[in-house]
Every structure is written in structure tokens, then in C-alpha cells.
Amino acid sequence: MIHLQARHLLLAWLAAAGMAEAATVNASFSPVGPLWEVGLTVINDGAPAEIGHFTVYLGEDMYSNLALTHSPAGWDSLVVQPDLSLPDAGFLDAMVLPGTPALTLGQQQAGFKVQFAYSGVGTPGPLHYDITDASYNLLFQGQTVPVPEPGTAVLGLLGLAVLAERLRRVRRSATASPLRSLE
């Protein structure tokens, strides 16, 4: 009974971890002195078309002094400041330059970095984004997926290892029990 519950938990976790959306943007936040920097990776894991453009929005209420610190080769990227008088979010806008291939299925592009002042508490959270093709047809909208810190990933793997060991012991004791009763 216990090993069946553990097996169902493991299968549910693996199914949730393996779910892919049409396209995603991963975000990795890190403090840089009094400022923050977000590293962004756009991933085409099933979009119906090639990704040629995306926009990530940084809300006017907690983000200010946006600065583009890195854009990968072949991409034209710009940052627009939030406007409190409208109110309107700031954003990073990035598009593939002519002559550079758009992101096809299974491809990703990392290396987009934006530095900013953050007035919120703790680590900045998910950011809204739009992903389009090169003709600006909307392919997908969503919120950035946080990239776990290495410690979080290690704890997750450790938990899976403990669960696997427990399953192995339960199986071993279940197969050893009939032999003991014969002796």
C-alpha cells in the first residue's frame, strides 16, 4: 500500500515536471549591489510557428531604472522605462534581426539581461510576457518561469533519491517476506 502511494506521488511529480507549454520564458533573478538583474531565456518547446519576437513586462509599481545589460548577437533588444503617469509597465522588447533565423521547435535563446531597481520585498516574482512570430502574430502569453537556485534543485533531487531508496526497500522486503515464512 505504501509503495503504491509513493509510486503515484512520484509519477504525478514527474508528469507535472514534464508538462511543456507552447513557449516559455525563464527568469533568473540575482542581486547586483543595490539593484537586481534578471537573466531571461526564451524557449520554443512547441509553438506552432517560429519565435521572432518577445516582450517581457516589468510593472510600474515595483520596477524602475531599467537598463539593458546584455542582448545576444542576432537580436535587437531595447528597454522602455515604466511610466507612472499613465500608469504603464516598463518592458524589454527583443526581436530577431533580419538574416538571423527565428527560434524553431526545440530551440532556445539565453543571454537577455536587464538591471533594475526593485521596491518590492524579497526576490522579484514572475513577469508577464508576450511571444510572437516575426510578423508580430501572438503565439503565446504567460508569466516567466523562475529558474530554481542550485540549492533548490539539489534538495529536489535529494528528495527523489530518498523516495527511490524507500521504494527499493519496500520492494526488497515484499519479495523477502515469503522466503522468511518458509523457513
Give φ, ψ of 37 to 5 degrees: -130, 140
The dihedral over CA atoms of 109, 148, 59, 41, expressed in degrees to the nearest 10, equals 0
Residue 47, number of CB atoms within 10 A of its CB? 21
**Assigned C-alpha cell, 76:** 535587437
Contact 75/93 with Cβ under 8 angstroms? no
Contact 25/131 with Cβ under 8 angstroms? yes
Residue 83, number of CB atoms within 10 A of its CB? 11
**Assigned C-alpha cell, 109:** 535563446
Distance CA 180, CA 157 (A): 34
84-92 mean pLDDT: 88
Of all residues in the chain, the percent with pLDDT exceeding 70 is 75
Nearest to 123 by CA among 87, 106, 157, 147: 147
Give the pLDDT of residue 68. 98
74-86 mean pLDDT: 93
48-77 mean pLDDT: 94
Q: What is the pLDDT of residues 2-14, one digit of tens each?
A: 444 444 444 444 4
Give the pLDDT of residue 102. 92
Give φ, ψ of 178 to 5 degrees: -60, -35
Give φ, ψ of 17 to 5 degrees: -70, -30
Domains and CATH numbers, the chain: 21-146 (2.60.40.2230)
Q: What is the pLDDT of residues 106-138, one digit of tens each?
A: 999 999 999 999 999 999 999 999 999 888 999
